[in-house]
Structure 1
Amino acid sequence: MAFTLKPDESIRRRIVENGCYARSENERIYNKWFAKGPRHQFQSVNRTYHLTDKVICDIGCGYGMNLLYCQPGSYGIEVDKYPVDFARSIGLTIHEIDFMHDDTDVLPKVDAVWCSALLEHVESIHIFLRKLSVLLKPNGLVIIYVPTIPLIPSLKHIPGLKRYTTGYLYSDHINAFTPSTLRFFCERAGFETLEVSPFMPPPLAIFNHVPLLNQVVDGVTFVGRKILNWSYPEGATRRSIEQGQGFEYYDWFDDGNLKT
């Protein structure tokens, strides 16, 4: 049987007894967010890529459910003060910043970045992905989960399937993806593709790598590796840099020829 991350009694006590809210609220948070361990996408990716052996940054980390299992030096980024205060109270390192708009150059470099259900919300996908690359150590891993437009959107009309085929339509989502567009965005931001998969749990896991069938449900995970000394394609108006938003523009045109 595949190894599953799940809290033991010491973790339960740590959360319930040290959480910064009333005990009843600490217990509610534990039962909702921690009791079953990290969600299945994290569990599935971890079995192959050993995230818990790495120093990671979890962007949009919430209460820190994944960070509990990762190596010292791991940290989360979160904009919501309520879970930030809670995660800090149980001993986790959380940076309360807006990753898109705040200075992230001061953050420690990490072995892997975990980013789940966030890219569909951001105003600039490319800037966000380039900033992820800057955050990574050489050859670091990036793992991104997004809801996707399913291959057959009309499946939402079948009783019981709507919740698995309409996540991309949530009112606060401003970007929508398919597996191929997510891969393009990530590769064009300097990542080598290792895997693009819905990482469905058993018994549906047999469909994860079956063409077309792996696009029936809503959601896909990209696993990639930062390419060392990556450059934009020839003729691009940008060049990659390892700070800020991850790129800068070439000086503009001299009779149609880009200055370098």
Structure 2
Amino acid sequence: MDKLVQHSSHDASDDDGAPTALPEYTERLATLEGSGIKRLLPTQAPYRWNIRRLGLGRVLDVGCGLGRNLQNCSPDSVGVDHNEHSVATARARGLNAYTPEEFNASEDGEPGRFDSLLCAHVLEHLDQDVAEDLLTTYLPSVRPGGKVVLITPQEAGYASDATHVRFVDLDGLRDHAETAGVEVLRAYSFPLPRAAGRTFKYNEFVMVGRLRP
């Protein structure tokens, strides 16, 4: 999945030793995109629909990886990721993507330039305090009243990746939202009911919130 792992993106303190920052991780993401049943069936269709139906406007995709979610957002949306190899791949796909240092130095790094923040399959890679710092760092990029979407894997998906460090369920997402000043509008299991998450690797926790003015 798509990742951003570092302590504070705007101060350029990139955690270069993180496994998700390595070129091998980018290669793994690319391999997973075309593996197994994904080669034959449109398995990403429900997830594309879920992102598009939220009406997110101009999105800042934190931990954009190769751009799997970014490509389903409005064309003027922007991704940021600490893996420079993943950023290069996203750009090669025609997407707007930055490393944290590049983002901070750009006009897009100025406050309030986005309608929404998306952070999908990232928080489970971070200790709680680091995850809180990540959200605190990027939420000022969203206009007051803008949307915030947080997505994490359920049990089977969590167990499928050795770089995961913390299981974040719906209660955990609500806690992150409360700490970050985000009003929770909806929290749900997708695409299948909650019980499926114990065996179906691609079931997700999804929280949709609104940034309080």
2:170 alignment counterpart: 179
- Counterpart check, 1:110 vs 2:114: yes
Q: Distance in 1 between matches of 2:48 and 2:181?
A: 23
- Counterpart check, 1:50 vs 2:52: no
Out of 68, 73, 78, which is 1:75 matched to?
Answer: 78
Over 3 Å counting, the alpha-carbon distance change for 1:50 and 1:92 in structure 2 is: same
Out of 220, 230, 235, which is 2:205 matched to?
Answer: 220
- What is the CA-CA distance between 1:168 and the residue it aligns to? 4.9
Over 3 Å counting, the alpha-carbon distance change for 1:38 and 1:142 in structure 2 is: farther
- What is the CA-CA distance between 1:185 and the residue it aligns to? 1.9
Q: Distance in 1 between matches of 2:48 and 2:170?
A: 18
Over 3 Å counting, the alpha-carbon distance change for 1:176 and 1:41 in structure 2 is: same
Over 3 Å counting, the alpha-carbon distance change for 1:105 and 1:68 in structure 2 is: closer
Out of 34, 42, 46, which is 1:40 matched to?
Answer: 46
- What is the CA-CA distance between 1:77 and the residue it aligns to? 0.8
Secondary structure (helix, strand or coil) at the match of 2:147 reads: strand
How many residue pairs get aligned? The number is 171
Structure 1: state its 5+ residue gaps. 1-24, 151-163, 208-213, 229-260
Secondary structure (helix, strand or coil) at the match of 2:145 reads: strand
Letter in 2 for 1:68: Q
1:145 alignment counterpart: 151
- What is the CA-CA distance between 1:84 and the residue it aligns to? 1.9
Secondary structure (helix, strand or coil) at the match of 1:111 reads: strand
Higher relative contact order (CA 8 A, sep 6+): 2
Which structure: greater helix fraction?
2
Q: Distance in 2 between matches of 1:145 and 1:42?
A: 13
TM-score when normalising by structure 2:
0.65
User: RMSD of the TM alignment (CA)?
Assistant: 3.4
Out of 48, 55, 64, which is 1:61 matched to?
Answer: 64
Would you identify which runs of 4 or more consecutive aligned residues in structure 1 move more than 4 Å? 102-106
1:134 alignment counterpart: 140
Over 3 Å counting, the alpha-carbon distance change for 1:104 and 1:180 in structure 2 is: farther
C-alpha offsets along residues 218-246 of structure 1, whole Å, 9 cap, x if unaligned? 53111111000xxxxxxxxxxxxxxxxxx
Q: Distance in 1 between matches of 2:44 and 2:144?
A: 27
Q: Check whether the contact 2:51–2:72 (CA below 8 A) recurs between aligned residues.
A: no
Q: Distance in 2 between matches of 1:144 and 1:104?
A: 25
Q: Check whether the contact 1:146–1:221 (CA below 8 A) recurs between aligned residues.
A: yes
Secondary structure (helix, strand or coil) at the match of 1:120 reads: helix
- Counterpart check, 1:92 vs 2:99: no
Over 3 Å counting, the alpha-carbon distance change for 1:192 and 1:58 in structure 2 is: same
Q: Distance in 2 between matches of 1:68 and 1:55?
A: 12
2:131 alignment counterpart: 125
Q: Check whether the contact 2:158–2:167 (CA below 8 A) recurs between aligned residues.
A: no
Identity across aligned pairs (percent)?
25
Which structure has the larger Rg?
1
